[in-house]
Every structure is written in C-alpha cells, then in structure tokens.
Amino acid sequence: MAWEKKMLRDIQRAINDFDMIQDWDTVLLWVSGGKDSMFLGYAMSQLKKRMKNKFKIIWVYMFKEFLIDCDIRFEEKKKYYEEELWIPLERVNIKLPEDSKMNEHWVKQTCQWCAYARRISMMKLCQKFWATKIMLWHHMDDVVVTTFMNMTQWRKFQVMAPHNKLMSGKLSFIRPMVYLREKDIMNFVKENNIPYSWCECPVGEAWMRMKIKKEIIWHNEKVLPNFTENVFWAFIKEFQDKYKDKKYMT
C-alpha cells in the first residue's frame, strides 16, 4: 500500500534526521492502548525488519496504579501484538514512590502530574531493561499543540523536541512520528483494523491541550488548510537552528 509505505518512510526519515537510534540501542516503546501507540507499535514492527541499525525494542504496556484509572482492555491489545505482530507485550504495573505527594488525596489530578509520574516510572523501567531510549508516540499535531501550550500558558517558546536527551545523553526520549498527521494515523488504524481505545480519563476533555486544539488548530485549519504543517515546519526549523551544535540536548 502506497499510503503505508509513505508513513513508514516518514518515520524512518525522522529517525535519521534527528539521530534517534544507533546500533545496539535498547529502546523502550511504551504502549498505552490508544490509536497513536498502537500504530507506532505496528509501524516499528515493520520498520525494524528493514532498518540497517542493529537495535532492540521492548514493547511495554504500563498500567498506572496511581491517579485516575485509565486501564483500557489490555488483553485485546496483547492478543493483537502476539497473534498479528508476533511481538510479546509485557504488562508492567507502575506505582509512585511511597513518599510522593501525589499519593495524597488532596493533590488535584491533572494531565501535567500524570505525565510527570509516567515519565519517572518509564525512566525507572529503563534501568530494569537496560534501555537507553524511550520511544513516545507524539505526532506532528502534538508538537504544534504542545508548543502553543508552552507559549500561551508558560510564556516561553519551547518546541516539543523530536529527540530529547537527558542525564548528559545517557537516556533519551525519541518521537519518530513527528512527521505524521494525527488524521492519517486515525485513518490507518481504522482501515487496518488495529485495535485501540479512546482515552477514558475524565480530566482529558477539560484540559488545556483540547482547548488549544479546538480554538487555535482546528479553527485556523478551516481557513488555512496547511496551517498545522506550515507551523510545524517553522517550529522544527527554529528547534534545529537552536540545538544544531548541541545534538538535540534540551
């Protein structure tokens, strides 16, 4: 399928453009069960067969035993991975440290806190699996929305990094889907019967990310069809110019 080949080619181009994967890397791919992570799991299962780099991917489904319970039909996703992709999908139950204040009932549950907790847990999983990269499933729309959030909420121009190095380069977050549009991912998973679940978190619909999507992105796309793509490439050029001498150390 030409459409599939283009999407896989765009993922591989992003991996090459931002130096995301090197030989002998161990990469932790977090599967949430949503459309984006399920598509990325499928895409990387196909790309790994043709990429020259010798690297290892560990597919992990992380069940959060903190904040709001968003567990979404794990057995269905596990069956797809094992029977369709021939890939083992390990379920890992993650907890916060006992002394974390997010365990307290008085702490307001927000997307920012949840994201922070998940990243801390993923970094700990990397120690268990000896992984040096965490592969995330953010796409072009996510980059644009997050950058607008940083501008409008935090008064800073900070682009969501396709390759974000941490701990002096010992660990990285990589986002190989940054050249893909969300609508194309959605169409692909539907046409190819890839199982996925919508986020059932009651906080999600009210959070700032959705407001920016509706009021800025979708509104401008009605009159400027190339709005998201043009803004994305402007952001990426700024990001590359800023960090070209630091190899994406942010």
Q: Report pLDDT digits (tens) over 77-125.
A: 889 999 999 998 888 776 665 655 555 554 555 666 666 777 777 888 8
- What local confidence, expressed as pLDDT, does residue 241 receive? 83
Between these two residues, 214 and 244, which has the higher pLDDT value?
Answer: 214
- What local confidence, expressed as pLDDT, does residue 244 receive? 65
- What local confidence, expressed as pLDDT, does residue 173 receive? 93
- What local confidence, expressed as pLDDT, does residue 211 receive? 86
Which tokens is 133 given? 């990269």
User: pLDDT for 39-87, tens place per residue?
Assistant: 999 999 999 888 888 899 999 887 766 545 555 678 888 899 999 999 9
Whole-number Cα distances in Å, 69 to 43, 60, 208, 238: 28, 18, 20, 38
* pLDDT over 70, % of the chain: 81
The edge-to-edge listing of strands for the beta sheet with 133-135 is 90-94, 56-64, 26-31, 133-135, 171-174, 163-166
- Report the distance separating Cα 248 and Cα 236, nearest Å: 11
Residues 6+ apart with CB under 8 A from 145: 209, 212, 213, 217
Asked whether residue 149 carries a pLDDT value surpassing 80, the answer given is: yes
Asked whether residue 142 carries a pLDDT value surpassing 70, the answer given is: yes
Q: Specify the 3-state DSSP secondary structure of 94.
A: strand
Report yes or no: 59 and 90 within 8 Å, Cβ to Cβ: yes
Residue with tokens 């780099």: 53
15: left (phi over 0), alpha (psi -120 to 50) or beta: alpha
- What local confidence, expressed as pLDDT, does residue 250 receive? 45
Between these two residues, 246 and 54, which has the higher pLDDT value?
Answer: 54
User: pLDDT for 24-42, tens place per residue?
Assistant: 999 999 888 889 999 999 9
Q: Specify the 3-state DSSP secondary structure of 196.
A: coil
Between these two residues, 170 and 244, which has the higher pLDDT value?
Answer: 170
- What local confidence, expressed as pLDDT, does residue 154 receive? 84
- What local confidence, expressed as pLDDT, does residue 201 receive? 62
Q: Hey, what amino acid is at 126?
A: C
- Report the distance separating Cα 161 and Cα 119, nearest Å: 15
Average pLDDT, the chain: 84
- What local confidence, expressed as pLDDT, does residue 73 receive? 77
Start-to-end CA distance of the chain, whole Å, equals 37
Asked whether residue 217 carries a pLDDT value surpassing 70, the answer given is: yes
Closest CA to 227 of 140, 162, 149: 140
Q: Which domains does the chain have, with CATH numbers?
A: 2-243 (3.40.50.620)
Whole-number Cα distances in Å, 4 to 40, 46, 192, 202: 12, 10, 10, 33
Confidence of residue 14 (pLDDT cuts 50, 70, 90): very high
What stretches of 8-66 adopt beta strand conformation (E)? Answer: 26-31, 56-64
Between these two residues, 68 and 189, which has the higher pLDDT value?
Answer: 189
CB atoms within 10 A of CB 8: 17
Phi, psi of 200 (to 5 degrees): -105, 15
Report yes or no: 140 and 180 within 8 Å, Cβ to Cβ: yes
> Whole-prediction pTM value?
0.87
Closest CA to 136 of 32, 19, 53, 207: 32
